[in-house]
Structure 1
């Protein structure tokens, strides 16, 4: 799928708590931890002069005490010279991320627990994967709970402990995979692969045919996992953030 088609689906699948529009620019905000739901997605032309639109975005995030952040996507950013405009204002690129897509196939795992809402055990894994940051874990748990139906949430326990989790959001024939996390005590055991397979099988029953997910370009183990499952890179995006000043 092209970024013009997939990015709006991805935005709707992982909705921010606060959302506004400036024409084709989508402003998302929460508590500042998850980059995707704390960034402006300029997916179309803004409803005003680009410089005035940037001013409005800066005011939006300043009012919430958040860093000003833009998510610039290859092939789907408007206007085309937005990166240059941001650079002149002191914004810097970071967080290169791949959007990978693949077929909805897999084998269900009987040990994976599926539900239509995240259960309380999710917080245990989120806190562990966030190195004890309760605020970060809370924001992500709230984000998972906002995924619109039909959604499925997967958990895998090991030795009676919640060890790994993930979620999917189905929109027509597209399914997004979100929130894939493994407790550091249980990594390198293939748990993510088992969760992914079970989510894809369930998504197929809901009508999905193409899966997509986001993975940081520097995360070689995750990229290898998804490549082994037949996923390939569709496009990339980078965040542009203005550093905080004292």
Structure 2
């Protein structure tokens, strides 16, 4: 069982926000307001001041950027341990769970899946096609460009057009898999599985033996896919907002 105190900092670094700040062990992330991971405070260790003062400082920090305050509370690493109660007293509520799963790298890749060290224009095509909000897609594309190397960007074309993509950020001995997207017309054809297997195979060739990913806990098809590929639940987190 992986310790979230080890994995969560890697996850934060793998998907960098446009603007980042610290309040002691609290990590503040802000971008355009769409992707929750890069628009939330991650309280991974004790703040540098009284907790209620820290909450007020977080609220002011996001307000100054025109964003709603949001906290990402993760199993077994929330500091202080009564932060959920403190947030509830201020009108915050927990959203739905996100599941972090871990598994092994390796296996065989798909020769039809192309790999790149940086994202190209076709990634934006797939993100835009698969995102309900173009601004959401644009924010994620910008985040892709901030991923620190080494990283693997995978793309699978069908009939000459980009159909599925995925990303693996390599760091801390892990491959963080995210950005898995398939254009709507090509879904339920096994394309995501082909992309995932290629990322895992290439990560092992790069000397990385373990992988992690994040998936909404109620996304049964995605959870089933990852479980079928050997990933197991490690811990959960949820966002608290008003």
TM-score computed with the length of structure 1 as normaliser: 0.96
Q: Which residue of 2 aligns with 1:195?
A: 195
- 2:178 is paired with a residue whose SS is strand
- 1:102 is paired with a residue whose SS is strand
- The alpha carbon displacement at 1:95 in A equals 2.8
CA contact (8 A) 2:42 2:73 kept: yes
Q: Which residue of 2 aligns with 1:207?
A: 207
Structure 1's unaligned 5+ residue stretches are: none
Distance in 2 of aligned mates of 1:138 and 1:210? 29
Matched, 1:186 2:186: yes
- Alignment RMSD, CA only? 0.8
Q: CA, structure 1 residues 127+32, in 2 after alignment: closer, same or farther (shift >3 Å)?
A: same
Q: Which residue of 1 aligns with 2:231?
A: 231
- Which string of whole-angstrom CA distances, capped at 9 and with x for unpartnered residues, describes residues 152-188 of structure 1? 1001111111111110011132110010011111000
- 2:154 is paired with a residue whose SS is strand
Structure 2's unaligned 5+ residue stretches are: none
CA contact (8 A) 2:101 2:213 kept: yes
CA contact (8 A) 2:109 2:197 kept: yes
In the TM superposition, 1:35-46 aligns within 5 A as 35-46=36-47
Q: Which residue of 1 aligns with 2:80?
A: 79
Comparing 170-179 with 221-230, greater Cα deviation is found at 170-179
Q: Which residue of 2 aligns with 1:163?
A: 163
Distance in 1 of aligned mates of 2:118 and 2:16? 15
CA contact (8 A) 2:10 2:172 kept: no
TM-score computed with the length of structure 2 as normaliser: 0.98
The count of aligned residue pairs is: 241
CA contact (8 A) 1:98 1:233 kept: yes
Q: Which residue of 1 aligns with 2:95?
A: 94
CA contact (8 A) 2:45 2:79 kept: yes
CA contact (8 A) 1:172 1:208 kept: no
CA contact (8 A) 1:16 1:37 kept: yes
In the TM superposition, 1:105-144 aligns within 5 A as 105-131=106-132, 133-144=133-144
